[in-house]
Amino acid sequence: MSEFELDFQDTATAFADKSDAELREKYRLFKMLNSPLLNSIGTRAATFALALGLPVEGLVKNTIFEQFCGGETIEECEPTIARLANSGIGTILDYSVEGKSSEDDFERTRDEIIRTIRRAKDDPRIPFAVFKVSGVAPLGTLERMSAKKKLDAKSQAKCERIHTRVAEICEFAYSVRQPVFIDAEESWIQDAIDRLATEMMQRFNRQEPIIYNTLQMYRVDRLQYLLETRIRAGSEGYILGVKLVRGAYMEKERERALEIGYPSPIQREKAETDSDFDAAVDYCLGHLDRVSMVAGTHNENSCRHLASKMKERNITASHPRIFFSQLYGMSDNLSYVLAKNGYNVSKYVPYGPVADAIPYLIRRARENSSAAGNVSRELELIAKELKRRKLA
C-alpha cells in the first residue's frame, strides 16, 4: 500500500495496545461525549462540584482524565510514554494547568515547563516540549502588548517579566537541544506571542529548529503570515519552526468580533480553512531548507494530503523536518497507522493535578461535542474494533 493509500480504517492497528476492557471503557466515554445533553450535564456538574469543593476528583481521574491525560505528574506519565513509544509514537508532555494569574503561579509554571524540557532531553521518545505563553503571563498584559498600547510603568514591568520567563524557557531548550512548541492562542493576544516566538527563533534557530511557533489556519491572515515569516527567516539566517493547526477558539473568536464590532479573523467556511491548511503544508514542503514543520491535525484528508505530497516529492516518511501530531486519546487511527508506515508522529500528552486540568478537559469535551462528526467517527472506529474482536 502506498503512502497516499494509508488505511485509516485499520482499527486493529489503531487500537492494538488497548485491552478489551480499555476499549469498552473508551467506547462508553465517547458515547457520553457524543450526546450533547449528557456532555453538557457532565461538564457543568464537574465544574459545579469542584467549585463547591466536593470530592469528585477521583471520579474525574478514573474517567475523562484517564482518557485524555497522562497523569498528574511527569513521573505518572511514564507508562503512557512507554506505551506510545512501543508503537513508534512520540510523546509531547503538555503541562495543562490553566487560568492562573499571580506572578508566583507564573514562576511555578515556568519551572514546570523547564522540567518537561529537562525530562525530554536525550529521550527520543519525547521529541518535543510545549508551552502556552498565557501560562507564564497575565492575559491583560498580553492583550495590551498585542494592541501595541502604551504601557504604564506597572505594565511595562510585567511585560519585561513575561519576556524574561519566555526567554528562560527557550534558552534552556536551546542549551539542551530540545525542540519546543509555543502554542497559539486567541487572536487578541497572538500578536505579542508571535513577536516573542519570532525573537526566540532569531536567537536559537540558527543551526537547527529549536523553537516552533504555531499557526491557526482558520484565521484569514495566517497563510500570508507564513509566507512573510519564511522570507524573513531566509533573509535573517534562521530556520522557521512552524506547527500548523486549524484552530481551537472559533466560537469565542466570532462572538468577540460580533460583540466589539470588528471583522471576524476567522474564515467564513470550513472549506477555506482546509484549503489554507493544505496550502501551508505545500508551502512548507517546498522550503524544507529553511522550514521545519509539524502538521497538528485530526483531519484524515490533511494527513493523506501531506503523505501523498511527500511521496510526489520523493521525501522519505521519516524526514527529520516533517512531523504529524495529534492529541492523546483522540484519532488513534491516524497516529498509529501513520507511525506503522514510518512517519514521524507524536501525541500531545497533557498532565497536571486533576482539579487544575478540569478547564482543559471541559474544553476537550465541548470541542468534541461541537466538532462536526469527530466523536461520531471515534465511536464508529471503536465499535468496528469491538466487532472485529467479537466483543459486540
**Residue found by looking up cell 471515534 in the block:** 378
Per-residue tens of pLDDT for the chain, all 392 residues: 444 579 999 999 999 999 999 999 999 888 877 766 555 555 566 666 666 666 667 777 888 889 999 999 999 999 999 999 999 999 999 998 877 889 999 999 999 999 999 999 999 999 999 999 999 999 999 999 999 989 999 999 999 999 999 999 999 999 999 999 999 999 999 999 999 999 999 999 999 999 999 999 999 999 999 999 999 999 999 999 999 999 988 889 999 999 999 999 999 999 999 999 999 999 999 999 999 999 999 999 999 999 999 999 999 999 999 999 999 999 999 999 999 999 999 999 999 998 888 777 776 666 555 444 456 888 899 999 999 999 98
pLDDT digits (tens, 9 = 90+) for 332-359: 999 999 999 999 999 999 999 988 887 7
Joined together, the cell numbers standing for residue 10 give 485499520
pTM of the model: 0.93
Local structure of 143: helix, strand or coil: helix
Cell numbers linked to 211: 523553537
3-state secondary structure of 240: strand
* CA proximity to 323, closest of 286, 296, 305, 350: 296
Neighbouring residues of 280: CB distance < 8 A, sequence distance ≥ 6: 215, 217, 222, 223, 226, 244
Q: How far is CA 390 from the centre of its chain?
A: 34
Rounded distance, CA 372 to CA 364, Å?
14
Residue 198: other Cβ atoms inside 10 A? 18
| CA 306 to each of CA 181, 276, 279, 297, 302: distance values in angstroms, whole numbers, following the listed order | 20, 13, 10, 11, 6
Residues in contact with 187: Cβ distance below 8 Å, sequence separation at least 6, in sequence order: 219, 249, 253, 265
* Cell output for 341: 508506515
Q: Is residue 289 exposed (0-12), middle (13-18) or buried (19+ Cβ within 10 Å)?
A: exposed
Give the separation between CA 273 and CA 88, rounded to whole angstroms.
30
Cβ contacts of residue 296 below 8 Å, gap of 6+?
214, 243, 244, 245, 325, 326
In 20-95, the DSSP E strands lie at 90-95
C-beta of residue 343 within 8 angstroms of C-beta of residue 318: yes
Kindly list the structural domains of the chain, giving each domain's residue range(s) and its CATH number in brackets, ordered by start. 9-69+365-392 (no CATH), 71-351 (3.20.20.220)
Residue pLDDT, tens place only, 217-271: 999 999 999 999 999 999 999 999 999 999 988 889 999 999 999 999 999 999 9
Q: Please list, in sequence order, all residues whose beta carbon lies within 8 angstroms of the beta carbon of residue 292, skipping any fewer than 6 positions away.
A: 209, 212, 239, 240, 241, 242, 320, 321, 322
